[in-house]
Amino acid sequence: MVRSILLVIAALLVAAPALAQRPPEHYHSPHWVLDDRYHHNHYYPAPGYAVAALPAGYVVVNHGGARFFFHAGVWFQTAGPGFVVVRPPVGVVVSVLPPAYTSVWIGGMPYFYANNVYYAPAPGGYMVAQPPTASAPVAPAPVAQAPPPQAAPAPGGAPSATWYFCDSSKAYYPYVTECKEGWRPVPASPPPPPR
């Protein structure tokens, strides 16, 4: 009896991590694509997927006479009575990065990556960049050992141009004071204005 119970417990312990890693059921669709490049590991709607309405909080971006709508790393354009997911053109500038981007260094240059799109710092925000060449060496973003004391702005002071993110706790300094793998410096980008 005890042996049976131990076998059941062992089977549950082995199976539980595999079950916990399954994506939610609505991602099991050809309309959703997993982006796992650079361990990004986020799902996005596939290009060509049409929606009747844009998600709340989108940003309007005009580029080359065309109007784009940007939300959480997904780009849309008007199509008929709704909107369709598209790839952004190289050179378009958006004021904010996707909330779940990955920082990478390729060929000595910093890029921010999400949804198969590379962004580079540019005046007014972040420019969609040409994908870096495969021959350029790829390295993860440098990790800061500890945020400097001035990382958290003093009350009434100007905000820092760099924030520090802890990947394991998924939180920013000073909200989390310790990070076992080291802090990752990320550009400070204000939230989009309320609609």
Confirm whether 152 is domain-assigned.
yes
pLDDT per position as a tens digit, 168-183? 777 767 666 677 667 7
3-class SS at 18?
helix
pLDDT digits 0-9 by tens, 16-71 = 444 334 455 555 566 888 888 877 788 899 999 999 999 999 999 999 999 999 99
- Residue 160: give the domain boundaries: 142-195
Would you state the torsion angle of the CA atoms of residues 149, 140, 106, 163, taken in this order, to the nearest 10 degrees?
A: -30
CB 180 within 8 A of CB 143: no
Element (H, E) at 5: helix 2-20
Indicate yes or no: pTM above 0.75: no
116-145: pLDDT as tens digits: 999 998 888 899 999 887 555 555 545 555
- The residue among 6, 167, 25, 40 whose CA lies nearest residue 114 is 40
Answer yes or no: is 93 within a domain.
no
Residue 89 lies in a domain: no
Q: For residue 122, is it within any domain? A: no
**Residue 32, amino acid:** W
With respect to residue 183, please indicate whether it lies within any of the assigned structural domains.
yes
Q: How confident is the model at residue 155 (pLDDT cuts 50, 70, 90)?
A: very low
Domain count, the chain: 1
